[in-house]
Amino acid sequence: MSRVYDCRVPGERATGRAAAVDAIRRGDLVVLPTDTVYGLAADAFSPLAVDALLSAKERGRDMPVGVLVGSWRGLDGLVLSVPAHVRDLVEAFWPGGLSLVVQQAPSLSWDLGDSRGTVMVRMPLHPVVLEVLAETGPLAVSSANVSGKPPATSAAEAQAQLGDTIDVYLESGSCGEPVASTIVDVTSAVPRVLRAGAISIESLREVVPEISGPD
C-alpha cells in the first residue's frame, strides 16, 4: 500500500524524504514535486526500476526517461566532456526549467529506454526534490501521470492516476499551471531547441547567441 507524506509539515517532510530515499534504494517508485509538474522517480541505475516506471505510466521504451540531478556537478558524471557553451547554459538556467539532451558517457551502466546514446538531464528548482537528490544521486524521472493523461500538479492528482503502483508520494501542494521545461539538444556543435517551454529562446540566445530554434 502506498504511503503519502505531506512535505508542507516540517516533521513529516523529513520522514517522507527518508522514506522516499529508502524506496528508491530498494528499487521502488516515488512521486515527488518539481518546479514544473510532479515527477515519477526511480533509481536511474536500476533497469528493473526504470521498467517499473515505464509500466506504471503505460509507456513504451521508444520514449526514454530523462534524468534529474541535484547540482551542476551532476552533469559532469554523465558525459565525457562539457563544452563551454553547455556550461554557460547550465550556469545561467540551472536549477530551473531547462532540460539538456547530451551524449552520455559510454561507461554508464543504465537503461533508460531506446535513448540511442543520449540522455535528457535537468536540475530542478524545488527544495524537496533537491533534498532527495542529494541523498540518492541522479534519478530517472518522468511526469507523474499515465501516458496520454494530464500531468499531475499535486501528489493527490498523481495518486488518482497511478494508485498503489507507487510506494511513496511526497505532497507539497499544487505546483500551479503545468509548464514544460525547455528542451535543448547540445549533442552537436550548434545547440538546438527541441521544445519551447519555461525558458524562452530569447533568454537562451542571451547566453548562447548561435542557438537554433525548433524545426
List pLDDT tens digits, range 184-206. Answer: 999 999 999 999 999 999 999 99
Q: Do the beta carbons of residue 211 and residue 184 sit within 8 Å?
A: yes
Map grid coordinates 535528457 to a residue: 120
Kindly report, residue by residue over 153-180, the tens digit of the pLDDT: 999 999 999 999 999 999 999 987 888 8
Cell digits for 30?
A: 516515488
**Is residue 61 pLDDT above 90, yes or no?**
no
Domain 3-178 matching CATH 3.90.870.10: the answer reads yes
Crossing angle for the helix pair 127-136 and 10-26, to the nearest 10 degrees: 40
Give CA–CA dist 99/184, Å, rounded. Answer: 6
Mean pLDDT of the chain: 93
The H or E element containing residue 25 is helix 10-26
φ/ψ region of 206 (left if φ > 0, alpha if ψ in -120 to 50, else beta) reads alpha
